[in-house]
A = this chain, B = another copy of it.
Amino acid sequence: MTTSAGTAFPEEAITCSITMRWGDMDAYGHINNVEVVRILEEARIGAFGPPGGTGRPGRETEVPFFSSLPAETQALVVEHRVKYKASLEYRNIPLNAKVWVSDLKAASLAINYLLLDPVTDVVCVTAQTSIAFVSAESGRLQRISPEQKAMVVPYEAASIME
């Protein structure tokens, strides 16, 4: 599939709306590169739910992957890779994020993202977050269950990083 500006993305991607905040701008008047990483966190949570055991109930997410991890399993960010393609501009309407999974393994996966300007549809950011599942007690890598894995299989596609 392609955005209206012609960027390809896999049809398996979930689309999320992410609200920018005025305070995300820095002294240059663009969304600060660090706040982009905060926006990626929101996109990840928008697509796959807030981590279980944090916050209080809100809406049911369609794919509550993170929300339904067993309490003894932690999803840890082990790597971020973020490419800034065009400066992301603050607007008082939400940006669009395309989010999908790649590199799905027994105890890890990668989340892939495109962040699109909500007016021009230009790709401002491409990014990938590698996540490992570890036991909260031992700190060791922990396999996720087949049921858990099945939740994200429909959203698996090629890695955005080559």
CB within 8 Å of B: which residues of A?
19, 21-23, 25-29, 32-34, 37-38, 41-42, 45-46, 49-51, 54-59, 61, 74, 76-84, 87, 89-93, 118-119
Contacts and interface: CB of A to CB of B under 8 A. Distances in A.
Contact of A58 (B21, B76, B91): B91
Contacts of A23: 26, 32, 34, 38, 41-42
8 contacts: A21-B41, A23-B26, A27-B54, A55-B91, A55-B92, A57-B91, A58-B91, A61-B92
Contact of A26 (B26, B34, B118, B119): B26
In order of increasing CB-CB distance, the 6 nearest A-B pairs are: A55-B90, A58-B91, A58-B93, A58-B92, A25-B27, A56-B89
A21 B94 CA distance: 14
B25 A54 contact: yes
Given A33-B80, A37-B80, A56 B91 contact: yes
Contacts of A42: 21-23
Nearest to A67: B92
Contacts of A84: 76-79
Nearest to A117: B56
Contacts of A83: 78-79
Contacts of A38: 21, 23, 34
Contacts of A46: 92
